[in-house]
Amino acid sequence: MAILVLNAGSSTVKFALFDFDSLEVLVRGLLDWAGKTGEAMVRLEMPGQPPVRQELEVPSYREAVFAALKLLQKCFGASSDQYRLHDEVGPPLKLMQKCFGTSSLGRAESTDSISIPERDTPEGADRLPDIAGSSGPRFSATSSGGRSDSALPGLAARKIRVVGHRLIHGGEEIRQPVWIDAQMKQTIARYRHLAPLHIPAGLEAIAATEEALPGVPQMGVFDTAFFADIPPAAYLYPVPYEWYTQWGIRRYGFHGTSHAYCTERAAQMLGRPVEELNLIICHLGQGGSATAVQSGKAITNTMGFTPLEGFMMGTRSGTVDPGILLYVMREHSLSVEELDYILHHRSGLLGLSGVSSDFRQVEAAAAQGNHRAQLALDVYAYRVRAMIGALAVTLGRVDALVFTGGIGENSSWLRKEVCRGLQCIGVHLDPEKNQHLRPDADIAPADSPARVLVIHTREDYMIARCARQMLLEQMASDS
């Protein structure tokens, strides 16, 4: 039996197949637009086998997700009903003719599980699935979701029992993992204006999975859930109190699933109880945020009412003076819609560099002497460093600074620049370790008061663990 997990982000979709019992990774994949429109690269990795990849031409987010799942089936010889994808959905998709060959992707990600308790936005991502006429998943906890024979080579006697999704915003309404049915999709859609890069994408991924795996139950874990314990002094904004009581305007925090995993993993790496630790966790990818964690609980996050606040990001501005927004609307006649689009889609790395929303491409341009690209990188690092300082003050003591996410794990330059000047809070970086590391790693020198950890985030593992627990609990209640 297996669990399929999808993490639909603003510029990538990460997906993985987990063994239901052991939670070991069977197959892992990445669908990456890398700042492009209408084109995506999908990469599949299976333990003990060379990675495979394929460029896809896809007109919409939903069809890209469907194509990635179709490639998963094709590459591993899926033939049984529970894995078979329905060819009548969407136009013919350009899939690779064979799934073998050379790869320049480097080593596969670690599939070891840890011992812990029980863009630009792609074209079409703003097109919500038709949820009004959708029906919820019809299943019982004991249903098979399909035939029981083998679907993928090497996965004998396994079948997809449940699909888990990373979801972004549930407001104060949803703080626990949920089963996804028609009503829940409508509830999620109500928050789409608060996370326009993520919620439509997540709903498209749900729709694609429903088409690919009809009858298999789907569940979701919300990013905002990890921040349920943030105190009022941290989550309230200095605006009329009625904005909170009547309109729900407050800080929520995001990337919670990643921050929760890194909290547990950091405690394990340090060999200390999580209740003793003060951590600052920086999740840096196409989107980015940092969380101050005390005794295993988040006490604040750099994102706020929406994922637009905080760090400068790929296409998002992050925190700006609200007076600027009023000024450009009054003096330069920008409409609300124009301003919304610019702040979400034309700002951040893309807006400053003029090169790309992809950190890798901006780094490459800077290395070739592009001044604006270098300026964008400098602003990015400065703002991360400054906000880490603010979080350190809220904690009073920092035991470890954690870097995670695609940028945090892979850019040695950024880690060096962010840590430069943080000696005042006890953070010291070992240049050699920083340059030559393999996550998960401690890259601080032995005498550093605070440790500097680079952790490969495992949001998919956390979602799989939660999905399994929910299904087992339902099985117990049905028995």
Compute the distance between CA of residue 7 and CA of residue 24 in angstroms, rounded to an integer.
17
**Which run of H or of E encompasses 391?**
helix 371-395
Burial call 393-407: b when 16+ CB within 10 Å, e when fewer: eebeebbbbbbbbbb
In a domain, 478, yes or no: no
Shared domain check, 305 and 162: no
- Is 70 exceeded by the pLDDT of residue 325? yes
- How many domains does the structure of the chain reveal? 2
In a domain, 311, yes or no: yes
In a domain, 331, yes or no: yes
In a domain, 235, yes or no: no
In a domain, 347, yes or no: yes
Shared domain check, 276 and 208: no
Shared domain check, 422 and 283: yes
Query: Which one is catalytic: 32, 223, 399, 440?
Result: 223
**Which run of H or of E encompasses 418?**
helix 412-419
Specify the pLDDT at position 464.
97
In a domain, 164, yes or no: yes
Question: Per-residue pLDDT tens for 35-73?
Answer: 567 788 999 988 888 888 888 888 888 888 888 888 877
DSSP for residue 121: P
Question: Per-residue pLDDT tens for 262-307?
Answer: 999 999 999 999 999 999 999 999 999 999 999 999 999 999 999 9
Shared domain check, 284 and 214: no
What CATH number is associated with residue 435?
A: 3.30.420.40
pTM of the model: 0.79
User: Has 223 been annotated as catalytic?
Assistant: yes
Shared domain check, 302 and 441: yes
Query: Six-digit token pair at 13?
Result: 């979709």
Query: Domain limits at 404?
Result: 272-454
Shared domain check, 211 and 280: no
